[in-house]
Structure 1
Amino acid sequence: MATRNILKQGDETLNKRCRPVTQFDERLHTLLDDMAQTLRESGGVGLAAPQVGILRRVVVLLDVNKDPEELVELVNPEVIEKRDEERMIEGCLSVPGVYGYVTRPHYAVIRAQDRNGNWFERAGEGMVAQCFCHETEHLDGHLFTEKVEEYVDVETE
């Protein structure tokens, strides 16, 4: 496993749409392992492949609703259900030090493949639902700053 560099806002890679994964091989497994290591070291909750310069539809995130937290790998993810919106503070590893209120679903279901190509669905609430939406938007070339309703200083909130 290796830690990869996280791209920052302004890098054009972050604004590009990612291609689906079609080969479930050792290269994908290495990418997933490296992304998990990078996420752990960053202190973040989710990381999408374009944030480490790879234009593939791959996400790793922490299910913070589990005890202990569970690492979730999502290949070719798609949010298939959303409900019960709430306004929450959000940040991003690619936009360090910037936080703002974003309206996201409180509940979401994601459909994805695992590292071996098997399809599954997973439901999440609160921060996990937020993360499902935030990370899949990265795969379409979008940053959370496009959705911010009001920027906040987390030191004073």
Structure 2
Amino acid sequence: MVLPIVAYGDPVLRKVGKEIEKDFPKLDELIANMWETMYKASGVGLAAPQIGLPLRLFVVDATPFADDEELTEAEQKTIKGFKKVFINAKIAKETGKEWAFNEGCLSIPDIREDVLRKDTINISYVDENFNEHTETYDGVLARVIQHEYDHIEGILFTDKLSSLKKRLLKGRLVNITKGKVDVDYRMRFPNIKKAR
């Protein structure tokens, strides 16, 4: 089922997600709905807070980046088919050089900005079967995971912009909270009662 994506300004996007227990009710259904919602909105990642649930859960399918001509053949191969569920994720460390990459967010439509992030992450999490993993990612995969991880920590990519950039975007962000934005997927706006 395609769920409405929560727009910028909703307090749930600022909450630190709660850990998920193994017996969480209808977890498989929730994950399936998240995949469907993400694909319908042409996203590469979606976190539970973006559908209104303050939980430590996000999904990533980085496959659309596999055709990026700026990536090496090895990077393209690693990214192609990279599809994972991250539950109760914890980034242990971020290392390497900071690099800029143009990011967007389904909760903040029509705004894209360059964001600086470290190149490499070490992350531990459990998958949808509650198998434990500790893995290291770099480049674009690290970037996508860091962006979704921020969501479960109550952080948005706009928080990482300079104060000048934030001031310049303020009016557009306020418009998003009021639903004054064109989107081709369902959204729930904080200053409008009903999802559209």
TM norm structure 1: 0.87
Contact 1:110/1:132 (8 A) holds in 2: no
Structure 1, 67-76 or 36-45: larger mean CA deviation: 67-76
C-alpha spacing 1:106/1:67, structure 2 compared with 1 (3 Å):
closer
Structure 1 spans left out of the alignment, 5+ residues: 153-157
Task: Give me the whole-angstrom Cα distance separating, in 2, the residues matched to 1:49 and 1:38.
Answer: 11
Task: Give me the whole-angstrom Cα distance separating, in 2, the residues matched to 1:70 and 1:140.
Answer: 23
Contact 1:24/1:115 (8 A) holds in 2: no
Asked whether 1:71 is paired with 2:70, we answer: no
C-alpha spacing 1:29/1:129, structure 2 compared with 1 (3 Å):
same
The corresponding residue for 2:53 is: 54
Report how many aligned residue pairs link the two structures. Answer: 151
The answer to which structure has the higher helix fraction is 2
Task: Give me the whole-angstrom Cα distance separating, in 2, the residues matched to 1:42 and 1:122.
Answer: 28
Task: Give me the whole-angstrom Cα distance separating, in 1, the residues matched to 2:57 and 2:150.
Answer: 12
The corresponding residue for 2:42 is: 43
C-alpha spacing 1:24/1:123, structure 2 compared with 1 (3 Å):
farther
Tell me how far 1:24 sits from its aligned partner: 4.1
Structure 2 spans left out of the alignment, 5+ residues: 64-75, 169-196
Task: Give me the whole-angstrom Cα distance separating, in 2, the residues matched to 1:146 and 1:135.
Answer: 14
The corresponding residue for 1:128 is: 141
Contact 1:79/1:132 (8 A) holds in 2: no
Asked whether 1:100 is paired with 2:120, we answer: no
Structure with larger Rg: 2
C-alpha spacing 1:9/1:144, structure 2 compared with 1 (3 Å):
same
Q: 1:111 aligns with which of 102, 116, 124?
A: 124
Tell me how far 1:13 sits from its aligned partner: 1.1
Q: CA RMSD in A?
A: 1.9
Task: Give me the whole-angstrom Cα distance separating, in 2, the residues matched to 1:69 and 1:43.
Answer: 15
Cα deviations by residue, 1:101-157 (Å, 9 ceiling, x for unpaired): 1111222222100112111123322221111111111111111100024589xxxxx
Tell me how far 1:8 sits from its aligned partner: 0.5
Cα deviations by residue, 1:1-24 (Å, 9 ceiling, x for unpaired): x11111010111111111100134
Task: Give me the whole-angstrom Cα distance separating, in 2, the residues matched to 1:53 and 1:107.
Answer: 29
Report the residue type matching 1:102 in the other structure: V
C-alpha spacing 1:141/1:35, structure 2 compared with 1 (3 Å):
same
The corresponding residue for 2:17 is: 18
Give the fraction of aligned pairs with identical amino acids, expressed as a percent: 29
Contact 2:62/2:144 (8 A) holds in 1: no
Tell me how far 1:69 sits from its aligned partner: 2.4
Q: Secondary structure at the match of 1:55?
A: coil
